[in-house]
Amino acid sequence: MIFFNLILAHLLGDFILQPNSWVADKEKKKGRSIYLYLHVLIHIALTMLFLWDFNLWWIALIVGVSHLLIDVTKLSSQTAKTKRIWFFIDQIAHILVIVALSLFYFPYFKLEDFFNDESLKIVTAIVFLTVPSSIFIKTIISIWTPITIDHSKIQTESLVNAGKYIGILERLLVFVFILVNHWEGVGFMIAAKSVFRFSDLAEAKQRKLTEYVLIGTLLSFGIAVLVGILIKI
């Protein structure tokens, strides 16, 4: 399938064969940077290499031109505050170009191969285990939220929304472990979470806070396990 050929070429060109010095020069000089055009030429060469068919030169050309336009747009629009956002916009745009080329010019790349009932179940489960589950858990345990001075102090010393993202990542990892039948991975996740999380809570000497976090943790793991089992049925 040509999709994976193009993805491999993209990963090598954008991450492996692009030194940090090139990135810095592009961010400084933007469209005037010689490394920007050298970067595009590398993408064209890699695309031709992995396609291994000179008759498909036009695909390599489209990949190169689109890469140049996307990168110039990113370099011209991003600021220090929006740099992270533009990184993801940039990568999504490149992948969409690859998907479009694979989808519209190669009949054996069909949407139904990816969006069948089985894959839609998995995608739905993944989406549910992210923000929706966080909101469900937050709503359920809100009646026990401990409002104390020590709790507020602990919160200010932690990363913003760290608990939310840790919960999302742990649910997704548990879900993956269940799908691949590695239940020992779930046990490892619970053990690791207990060691790191509850050692901090023990130092805080807040029994209510410890119980509150324990309820949230068990709910998080429980939801992920339940969703994983339902998907496998």
Residue 13 pLDDT: 95
The burial of 117, by beta-carbon neighbours within 10 Å (0-12 exposed, 13-18 middle, 19 or more buried), is given as exposed
* Block residue for tokens 């858990």: 137
pLDDT tens for 95-117 read 999 999 988 766 555 556 666 77
User: Do 136 and 45 share a domain, yes or no?
Assistant: no
pLDDT tens for 55-67 read 889 999 999 999 9
User: Do 181 and 86 share a domain, yes or no?
Assistant: no
Are 70 and 93 in contact, with CB atoms under 8 Å apart?
yes
Residue 151 pLDDT: 45
Q: Which residue, of 111, 144, 164, is where some domain finishes?
A: 111
User: Do 87 and 36 share a domain, yes or no?
Assistant: yes
pLDDT tens for 47-93 read 999 998 898 899 999 999 999 999 999 999 999 899 999 999 999 99
pLDDT tens for 163-209 read 788 889 999 999 999 999 998 989 888 888 777 766 655 555 566 76
How far apart CA 94 and CA 218 sit, in angstroms, is 39
Q: Which residue, of 111, 126, 144, is where some domain finishes?
A: 111
User: Do 80 and 187 share a domain, yes or no?
Assistant: no
Q: Half-sphere exposure of 51 toward its Cβ, with a 13 Å CA cutoff?
A: 23
User: Do 71 and 122 share a domain, yes or no?
Assistant: no
Residue 108 pLDDT: 55
User: Do 71 and 97 share a domain, yes or no?
Assistant: yes
Q: Is residue 156 very low, low, confident or very high in pLDDT (cuts 50, 70, 90)?
A: very low
Q: Which carries the bigger pLDDT value, residue 37 or residue 147?
A: 37
User: Do 137 and 228 share a domain, yes or no?
Assistant: yes
Residue 88 pLDDT: 95
User: Do 101 and 29 share a domain, yes or no?
Assistant: yes
Residue 162 pLDDT: 77
Residue 96 pLDDT: 96
Structural domain span for residue 137: 117-232
How far apart CA 132 and CA 222 sit, in angstroms, is 15
User: Do 146 and 183 share a domain, yes or no?
Assistant: yes
Residue 233 pLDDT: 82
Q: Is residue 46 very low, low, confident or very high in pLDDT (cuts 50, 70, 90)?
A: very high
User: Do 153 and 122 share a domain, yes or no?
Assistant: yes
Residue 169 pLDDT: 93
Q: Which residue, of 111, 135, 169, is where some domain finishes?
A: 111
User: Do 152 and 176 share a domain, yes or no?
Assistant: yes
User: Do 201 and 215 share a domain, yes or no?
Assistant: yes
Number of structural domains found in the chain: 2
Ramachandran category for residue 146: left, alpha or beta (phi over 0 → left; psi -120 to 50 → alpha): beta
